[in-house]
Amino acid sequence: MPLVIWRILGFISVGIGIINAFIPLMPTTVFLLVGAWALGKGSPAWRAKLLAHPKFGRALRDWDDGKRVSRRGKRLAAVGMMLSWVILLFWRGLNPWTAGVGVLLAAIAIWLWKRPEPRAETPAPDPQP
């Protein structure tokens, strides 16, 4: 696939992730993960900038380091999924579709909670001798 396609996918995913950071209950990290993956194929320099980002970089680096997710991230994701399902339940009522969505979200939450937690970050070495 041409580099430009990877870059477009990466920038669109990162853009959606940043927009979602300001919208409650919308996933941010998933889109940033896709963006980092695509930019790694299309623009390693932009991927490095994303991994170095002060707000989002740590979660992306943790995912790269063995698919690790912080306890806070797990908690927020589980609460967000639960709230989304409750909203769906009130909006559409209990039926086979909403029950199926609930089972799927529960399975995702269980999978997420089984992910290892991040290792403690070691400080960067002092560049001065």
Q: pTM here?
A: 0.80
Contact 112, 64 (CB under 8 A): no
56 with 17, same domain: the answer is yes
- The whole-number pLDDT of residue 127 equals 56
- The whole-number pLDDT of residue 24 equals 74
46 with 5, same domain: the answer is yes
41 with 1, same domain: the answer is yes
- pLDDT per residue as tens, the chain (129 positions): 788 999 999 999 999 999 998 987 778 889 999 999 999 999 999 999 999 999 999 999 999 999 999 999 999 999 989 999 999 999 999 999 999 999 999 999 999 999 999 988 655 556 565
Query: Is position 126 within any domain?
Result: no
Q: Specify the number of domains making up the chain.
A: 2
59 with 72, same domain: the answer is no
86 with 109, same domain: the answer is yes
- The whole-number pLDDT of residue 103 equals 98
32 with 53, same domain: the answer is yes
Give the total residue count for the chain: 129
Q: Which domain holds residue 16?
A: 1-64
The set of residues, in sequence order, having a beta carbon less than 8 Å from that of 69 and lying 6+ positions away, is 59, 62, 63, 77, 112, 115, 116, 117, 118
57 with 74, same domain: the answer is no
- The whole-number pLDDT of residue 36 equals 95
1 with 54, same domain: the answer is yes
55 with 75, same domain: the answer is no
What are residue 125's phi and psi, to 5 degrees? -65, 150
